[in-house]
Amino acid sequence: MIALNLREIAQAVGGELHLHGSTLTPESRIDGAVTTDSREIGPGAVFVAKPGDVTDGHLFAPTAVERGAVLLIVEHLLDLPVAQIVVPDAVTALGDLATDVVARVRAAGSLKVIGITGSNGKTTTKNLLKAVLERVGPTVAARESFNNEVGAPLTMLGLTLETRFLVAEMGASAVGEIARLVRMARPDIGIVLKVGLAHAGEFGGIDATVRAKTEMVTGLLETDVAVLNADDPRVAGMAGATRARITWFGQNGTEGVRATDVVASATGTTFRLHLASGETRPVAFRVLGEHHVMNALAAASAAELLGVDIDLIVSALESVHTAERWRMEVMGGRDGVTVINDAYNASPDSMTAALKTLAQIRRPGQRTIAVLGEMSELGELAGEEHDRVGLLAVRLNISQLVVVGRAARRMHISTINEGSWDGESAFVETPDEAFDLLRSTVRPGDTVLVKSSNSAGLRFLGDRLGEFFS
């Protein structure tokens, strides 16, 4: 965090400062990291005691102090000899502090903020854009998927006065949450990737999802730019909801940043990149899956708006070979067995994309195996969407399907009920059972896709398979 004194921090979060035996004064300056995780505390850090669903951050405050925290942001005063700021709501205070820090850094220098939202692809696009921008100047971007009301402000609090670019993922599980994050970061560029059924159960349906994602562009000013997916009608429709200038990306249109000559393979995807300026270059993109080309186009769109040269954009895109841990992560190799671990998250759209990739990269005579688990947070749509994925596996002629977990069982049922399929489907209750089955049935040369929502835990199954076949 940038250096602020205790008085300034208290004012930013609307809290009451208590020195409580600390040797600090209201004018003492703090520049340590801010975190809600006591395990990440180091000397000079600020610990935000966030109440949680399972436990309460206040219980870990003593550990934070032992590890070197010099300031606690708490909802009630604790009997600890350390400076404390008491606030009504710790999560709100965290956001208020992030808002203040972003505004100070923007006022002090040349900070540009890029906000990214969408049902799928946020983390990949963030990583791609970070790879481009960090070649131009100091760049701060979320680690992993820090994109909610806690993770996003923690990312923003990593700014320094030298930071030139902030790449902020903005996720949500309810209407109003993205709007709050937009008010914190005040993006100069707002990217909307796609609107799909991810988290539709939490939002209350696709229409509510559209409203939530539209908050990215409604919060932009006339001087800002909205970067919209021209190939997604729901995203394209957001053009009428913003005051900002519009620029487009996609594969099907003729405007904005585009890709042509797209060819997917087991080593990545090649395509020709066309910038809005008319400049064009071939790209050998090593991130597996044709669907990630759209994320590359979104990143290139923002980079072009920020004045980055096309050759630098292409070089940076080509340097990235994995979207993120557990996202189309290629593992294995022994006996020609390839394991694709894509089990960090899953929605109907991302599940479809992963299965299509599996089918696309299959070589003649090669077997493909899809190990699939639950797609969570779909609400009343869960049954029919799991059915649809099972039928898609049949229609793509996937050689073997292994369905893991009772919540995903309808995938298995829908495939065995499809009389036109001469493939096989197996159902197991647990990842351990799946591992035992696959260990004995995978043949040399097979390609195995592991895909599920995070909650199903199949990412660890993917790791076990990758290690076993390495």
Helix, strand, coil proportions of the chain in percent (round to 5)?
40, 20, 40
- Measured in whole angstroms, the distance separating CA 378 from the mean position of its chain's CA atoms is 18
Please answer whether residues 208 and 199 qualify as being in contact, where contact means their C-beta atoms are separated by less than 8 angstroms.
no
Q: DSSP readout, 276-329?
A: TTS-EEEEEE-SSSTTHHHHHHHHHHHHHHTT--HHHHHHHHHH---SBTTBSE
Q: Is 345 annotated as a binding residue?
A: no
Q: Is 22 annotated as a binding residue?
A: no
**Using CA atoms, how far apart are residues 245 and 99, in angstroms rounded to an integer?**
24
Q: Is 196 annotated as a binding residue?
A: no
Q: 412: helix, coil or strand? A: helix
Q: Is 379 annotated as a binding residue?
A: no
Q: Is 121 annotated as a binding residue?
A: yes
H helices then E strands: how many in the chain?
16, 22
Please answer whether residues 234 and 210 qualify as being in contact, where contact means their C-beta atoms are separated by less than 8 angstroms.
yes
Residue matched to tokens 């203040």: 100
Q: Which residues pair with 258 in a beta bridge?
A: 250, 274
Please answer whether residues 54 and 48 qualify as being in contact, where contact means their C-beta atoms are separated by less than 8 angstroms.
no
Binding residues for ATP, by number, are: 118-124
The binding site comprises 118-124
